[in-house]
Structure 1
Amino acid sequence: MRSSYLEVTFRHGRPLTAYLYLPRSPGDRSDRVEQAGSGLLVDYTADGKPIGIEITAPAQVGIAELNHVLAALRAPAVTNEDIAPLRAT
């Protein structure tokens, strides 16, 4: 996968949780998870490559916080349009 994409799980029409898939190679698997802020968990491969961010509290995570984590991971920033499903009501 060459680009990031967002997968959102809804319950009663509201975002319950989300996962931002980061660019990865076929066969990459999560080996460890680290907290990266309030409501953000980063999955890493065994060799330390970040492969995704679980967003456990979509209503509480802002774009600035998410982009701060992405910058630290040297991953592409997201736009308001990219995370629009997190703002569904």
Structure 2
Amino acid sequence: MREPYLEVTFRHGRPLAAYYYLPREVGEKSVRTRRVEPGLVIDYASDGSAIGIEITAPMQLSLSTLNAVLAELGHAPASEADLAPLAAA
């Protein structure tokens, strides 16, 4: 996978959790996690690269918070359109 994307899990029409997939090789799995902000957990592959961000409180996520984490990880910022599924709920 070469482009980041957001996957949202809904329950009763509300976002329960979300996952922001970062570029990764096919079949790469998480071997380590790190909590960064309240409601955010970064997943890392065995080579130490970040492969995704778990969003455990999606209704509280702000674009600026996500972009600060992405900048720390060396990834391009997300746009409002990237988080549109959360705003639609």
TM value normalised by structure 1: 0.95
Q: Distance in 1 between matches of 2:26 and 2:39?
A: 27
Q: Distance in 1 between matches of 2:78 and 2:55?
A: 14
Q: Give the number of aligned pairs.
A: 89
The higher-RCO structure (CA 8 Å, 6+ apart) is: 1
Gap regions ≥5 residues in structure 1 = none
User: 1:13-24, aligned counterparts within 5 Å?
Assistant: 13-24=13-24
Equivalent residue for 1:4?
A: 4
Equivalent residue for 1:42?
A: 42
Q: Please identify runs of 4+ aligned residues in structure 1 that moved more than 4 A.
A: none
User: 1:63-82, aligned counterparts within 5 Å?
Assistant: 63-82=63-82
Q: Specify the code of the residue in structure 2 equivalent to 1:23.
A: P
Equivalent residue for 2:51?
A: 51
Structure with the bigger percentage of helix? 2
Once the two structures are superposed, residues 17-47 of structure 1 have per-residue CA deviations (whole angstroms, 9 ceiling, x without a partner) of 0000000012211000100101000000112
Is this contact kept in 2: 1:8–1:15, CA < 8 A? Answer: yes
Q: Distance in 1 between matches of 2:36 and 2:75?
A: 14
Q: Distance in 1 between matches of 2:48 and 2:67?
A: 19
Q: Specify the code of the residue in structure 1 equivalent to 2:49.
A: K
TM value normalised by structure 2: 0.95
